């Protein structure tokens, strides 16, 4: 009985030792000839290999970027008082819609007399400068004048005319707005909505005071984004884009490329792109961050799973099927890789069958 038990144990031990040997023998039967590899039917590696026939397919270049919402410059105005004075009345507050020329606030200022005085002085100086310039012209014409003095008098006369023009404009604004009462009505230069107001009745504004009212027309806005230099060839002015914002992640806003800058940012290697979007419901607000998806032209190209791509030093390759359980290493060039797919630019043809899974196990064979 003892001998029988020992015999069974010995046979079990011998069988257990031999099974790994069988597997090793099978793995050693894989043939490698240069870049060719032949895998026998009994190999466990064969069970892990998957293949796929690839063909060219329509492909859109996936280009996305982040951007920020901006008011269109012509639809945006920061309003300050052109003269120092005290605010005595407000005509529009935050949220109010105004037309171009609508009164925004009224300021009481004693600057009218100063403006009149500045205009009178500028007028006198311009008249004197003109007389001096004409006199120098006459002297040079009769050969007794100096060319340098003529040029200096001409420059002086030109500067005085500019000063007179500025003073005249200021007086005209004041006269039209104040109607001689000393109270100046500040009006909106554009149609839009008051989006910011710091007007306080009784507040005194200095001559260099910051703007107290901001008016914007936001039915259309710009989104300022950036596109990488390498992707510039895929977009053009007028292309459609899709925009999403964090506040409404499920709401797609359509827009189009309004302008592409003519220079590249040397730090980021990106180019600024302006997107124009209709904004009838005012969901896009200046300062918001947005995600921009660009619609690009499609092309027929070769796309393979990222898992099929192998790397050896600086070279990328795939395993190309050449027969039953037979593969050859084929070098390829790629671009536009993602987590799941990669675009092949050379090395493969439509109808090629390649290994899409299991290639990593072949690295251990060599």
Query: HSE of 90 in the Cβ direction (CA atoms, 13 Å)?
Result: 14
DSSP for 112-135? HHHHHHHHHHHHHHHHHHHHHHHH
Task: Write out the CATH class of domain 64-73+217-298.
Answer: mainly beta
pLDDT of residue 298: 67
| C-alpha–C-alpha distance, residues 366 and 357, integer Å | 18
Confidence of residue 29 (pLDDT cuts 50, 70, 90): confident
Do 32 and 365 contact (CB within 8 A), yes or no?
yes
DSSP string, 21-85: HHHHHHHHT-EEETTEEE--TT-GGGGG-EEEE--EEEEE--EEEEEEEEE-GGGEEEE--SS-E
Measured distance CA(71)–CA(287) in Å, rounded = 9
The CATH number of domain 112-176, selected from 1.20.58, 1.10.287, 1.10.3470, 1.25.40: 1.10.287
Distance between the two ends of the chain, CA-based, in angstroms? 50
pLDDT of residue 113: 65
Q: How far apart are CA 83 and CA 183, in angstroms?
A: 11
pLDDT for residue 25: 39
Q: Please classify residue 246 by burial: count the beta carbons closer than 10 Å to its beta carbon, then call 0-12 exposed, 13-18 middle and 19+ buried.
A: exposed
The whole-number average pLDDT for the span 278-283 is 89
Q: Note the pLDDT tens digit of each residue in 199-223.
A: 999 999 887 889 999 999 999 999 9
pLDDT of residue 365: 66
Sequence spans of domains, the chain:
30-59+300-362, 64-73+217-298, 112-176
Whole-prediction pTM value? 0.53
Rounded Cα distance between 218 and 74, Å, is: 11
* CA nearest to 321, candidates 345, 357, 365: 357
Query: Residue 321 is inside which H or E element, if any?
Result: strand 315-323
What confidence category does residue 11 fall into, taking pLDDT thresholds of 50, 70 and 90? Answer: very low
> How many other C-beta atoms can be found within 10 angstroms of the C-beta atom of residue 341?
17
Whether residue 154 contacts residue 133, with contact meaning beta carbons closer than 8 Å, is answered with yes
**Residue of 332, 328, 337 whose CA lies nearest to 362:** 328
Q: Of all residues in the chain, what percent carry a pLDDT higher than 90? A: 30
The pair of structure tokens assigned to 189 is 């230069």
pLDDT-derived band at 180 (thresholds 50, 70, 90) equals: low
- What pLDDT sits at residue 8? 38
Query: Residue 26 pLDDT > 60, yes or no?
Result: no
Tokens of residue 231, six digits: 């992707």
pLDDT at 15 over 60: no
Q: Which residue has the tokens 């008249």?
A: 127
Beta strand extents in 190-247 (DSSP E only): 192-197, 204-205, 213-216, 220-228, 240-245
CATH architecture of the domain with residue range 30-59+300-362: Beta Barrel (2.40)
Q: At what angle do helices 111-141 and 147-178 cross, to 10 degrees?
A: 160
**Quick one: DSSP state of residue 167?**
H
How far apart CA 354 and CA 57 sit, in angstroms, is 16
Say which residue the tokens 């060319």 belong to.
147
The span from the CA of 252 to the CA of 240, in Å, is 12
pLDDT in tens, 87-144: 999 999 999 999 999 999 998 876 666 777 888 888 999 999 999 989 988 888 888 8
CA 185 distance to own-chain centroid = 40
Task: Identify the CA nearest to 355 among candidates 50, 54, 56, 55.
Answer: 50
The per-residue pLDDT for 181 is 55
Task: Kindly tell me the sign of the dihedral angle through the C-alpha atoms of 275, 279, 283, 286.
Answer: positive
């Amino acid at each position: 009985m003892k001998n029988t038990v020992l015999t069974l144990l010995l046979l079990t031990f011998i069988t257990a030792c031999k099974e790994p040997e069988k597997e090793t023998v099978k793995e050693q039967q894989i043939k490698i000839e240069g870049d060719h590899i032949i895998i026998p039917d009994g190999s466990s590696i064969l069970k892990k290999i998957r293949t796929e026939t690839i063909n060219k397919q329509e492909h859109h270049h996936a280009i996305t970027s982040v951007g920020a919402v901006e008011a269109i410059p012509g639809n945006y105005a920061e309003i300050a008082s052109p003269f120092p004075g005290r605010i005595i009345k407000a005509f529009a507050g935050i949220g109010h819609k105004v037309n171009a020329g609508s009164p925004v606030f009224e300021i009481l200022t004693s600057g009218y007399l100063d403006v009149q005085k500045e205009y009178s002085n500028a007028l006198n100086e311009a008249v004197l400068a003109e007389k001096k310039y004409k006199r120098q012209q006459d002297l040079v014409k009769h050969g007794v004048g100096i060319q340098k003095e003529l040029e200096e008098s001409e420059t002086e006369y030109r500067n005085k005319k500019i000063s007179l023009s500025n003073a005249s404009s200021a007086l005209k604004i004041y006269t039209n707005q104040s109607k001689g009462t000393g109270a100046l009505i500040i009006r909106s230069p554009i149609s839009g909505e008051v989006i910011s107001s710091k007007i306080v009745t009784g507040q005194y504004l200095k001559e260099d005071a910051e703007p107290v009212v901001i008016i914007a027309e936001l039915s259309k806005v710009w989104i300022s984004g950036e596109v990488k230099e390498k992707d510039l060839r895929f977009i053009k002015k007028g292309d459609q884009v899709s925009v999403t914002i964090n506040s409404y992640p499920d709401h797609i806003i359509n827009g189009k490329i309004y302008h592409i800058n003519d220079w590249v940012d040397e730090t980021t290697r990106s180019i600024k792109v302006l997107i124009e979007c209709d904004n009838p419901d005012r969901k896009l607000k200046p300062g918001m961050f947005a995600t921009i998806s660009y619609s690009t032209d499609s092309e027929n190209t070769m796309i393979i799973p990222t898992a099929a791509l192998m790397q050896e030093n600086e070279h990328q390759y795939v395993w190309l099927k050449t027969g039953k359980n037979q593969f050859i290493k084929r070098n390829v060039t790629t671009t536009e890789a993602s987590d799941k797919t990669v675009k092949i630019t050379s090395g493969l043809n439509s109808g090629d069958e390649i290994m899409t899974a299991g290639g990593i196990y072949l690295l251990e064979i060599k």
